[in-house]
């Protein structure tokens, strides 16, 4: 199985006629994802390599029945695009847009929670999601993913998401789903959301979790793992040498005093029974050992 998306997921691309939307939307389609339509105001009635384009998400949903949306629009339009998708009944939204103001993120996140509880947002500022061999929504290369499981991956870091996929695939260890949640201060989907879904998925037998400095999501995830999970978890936390008070990469990755440090997160995860690695390569090696012990390789 997989979490959040599968071979039956049907997708529209908001921003399909733009350079990035076209590139990634077509690449997702070529992977096998069911990209049914694009949405760009004022471009309705056109198409992108056979994919029809509509002026609004509502029109696209009524015409195609799509249940997921891939948002690839500039930061100033992202908030409206996300809320438009939710209003049209889209159940799963992936937004890769970087640079959205934190105030805007907090606003649309809370509006989704209040007014559209049936809609899940992944992102923004994330690589997206891939269930190998079934569905790819976002910017992850399908070439580095291996279908079949049994490992689920959830990561705040885009680049380390790709490394985790590649290293496991090179060892013949497949993935059920890989979720890049992004590192912005107000993510639509967090570690616990993914861990809960992986715990419930019978084909996911182990989980790799990649965190980074800033915030307290890793500590909260550790609490969840200790109380609710019986599947093995391997974790790596990036930013061990990050200087205090300096933003590293994006708004979510910042250490203030003793809060949000890699050391503190690693200790919390270790206390929860998680196998904590010192670097990404070691995380992959530890996961391979666990999977082999499970008899899945």
The residues facing 236 across adjacent strands are 210
**122, 157, 190 - which closes a domain:** 122
Q: Is 136 contained in some domain?
A: no
Give me the CATH number covering residue 39: 3.40.50.720
Q: Do 108 and 223 have their domain in common? A: no
> Does residue 118 sit in the same domain as residue 240?
no
Q: Determine the pLDDT at residue 58.
A: 98
pLDDT of residue 96: 98
* 5 domain residue, yes or no: no
Does any domain span residue 3?
no
Parent domain of 235: 141-294
pLDDT at 242: 62
pLDDT at 50: 98
Question: Do 145 and 279 fall within a single domain?
Answer: yes
pLDDT for position 297: 63
Does one domain contain both 151 and 223?
Answer: yes
DSSP state of 243: P
| Together in a domain, 195 and 233 | yes
CA dihedral 117, 138, 123, 151 (to 10 degrees): 90
Q: Do 108 and 189 share a structural domain?
A: no
- Asked whether residue 259 is assigned to any structural domain, the reply reads yes
Are 181 and 64 in the same domain? no
Is the same domain home to 28 and 59? yes
Residues 269, 173 within the same domain: yes
Q: Which of 88, 122, 156 is the last residue of a domain?
A: 122
Residues of the chain with pLDDT under 50: 251-257
Q: What is the CATH classification number for the domain harbouring 145?
A: 3.40.50.261
The most distant pair of C-alpha atoms in the chain lies apart, rounded to whole Å, by: 57
Residue 267 belongs to some domain of the structure = yes
Residue 211 in domain: yes
145 and 259 co-located in one domain: yes
The verdict on residue 135 lying in a domain is no
> Can you give the pLDDT at residue 260?
75
Q: What total number of domains does the chain contain?
A: 2
Active site positions, annotated: 250
**Residues 18 and 102 occupy one common structural domain:** yes
Q: Mark whether 115 and 17 lie in a shared domain.
A: yes
Return the pLDDT at 251. Answer: 44
Four-CA torsion 14, 16, 19, 20, nearest 10 degrees: 50
Q: Beta strands 10-14 and 34-39: pairing type?
A: parallel
Over residues 199-208, the pLDDT tens digits come to: 999 999 999 9
Hey, CA dihedral for 256, 262, 268, 272, is it positive or negative? positive
């Amino acid at each position: 199985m997989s979490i959040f998306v599968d071979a039956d997921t049907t997708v529209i691309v908001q921003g399909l006629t733009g350079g990035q939307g076209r590139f990634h939307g077509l690449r997702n389609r070529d992977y096998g994802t069911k990209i049914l339509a694009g949405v760009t105001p004022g471009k309705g009635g056109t198409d992108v390599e056979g994919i029809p384009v509509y002026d609004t998400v509502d029109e696209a949903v009524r015409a195609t029945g799509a249940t997921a949306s891939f948002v690839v629009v500039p930061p100033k339009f992202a908030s409206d695009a996300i809320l438009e998708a939710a209003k049209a009944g889209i159940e799963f939204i992936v937004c890769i847009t970087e640079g959205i103001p934190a105030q805007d993120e907090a606003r649309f996140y809370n509006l989704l929670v209040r007014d559209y509880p049936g809609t899940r947002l992944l992102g923004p500022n994330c690589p997206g999601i891939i269930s190998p061999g079934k569905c790819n929504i976002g910017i992850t290369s399908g070439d580095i993913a291996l279908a079949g499981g049994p490992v689920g991956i959830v990561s705040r870091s885009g680049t380390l998401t790709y490394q985790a996929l590649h290293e496991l695939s090179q060892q013949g260890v497949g993935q059920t789903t890989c979720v890049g949640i992004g590192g912005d201060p107000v993510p639509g989907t967090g570690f616990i959301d993914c861990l809960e879904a992986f715990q419930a998925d019978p084909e996911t037998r182990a989980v790799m979790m990649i965190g980074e400095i800033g915030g307290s999501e890793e500590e909260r995830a550790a609490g969840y793992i200790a109380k609710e999970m019986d599947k093995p978890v391997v974790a790596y936390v990036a930013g061990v040498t990050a200087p205090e008070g300096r933003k590293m990469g994006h708004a979510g990755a910042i250490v203030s005093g003793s809060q949000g440090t890699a050391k503190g997160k690693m200790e919390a995860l270790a206390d929860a029974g998680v196998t904590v690695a010192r670097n990404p390569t070691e995380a992959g090696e530890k996961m391979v050992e666990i999977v082999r012990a499970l008899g899945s390789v």
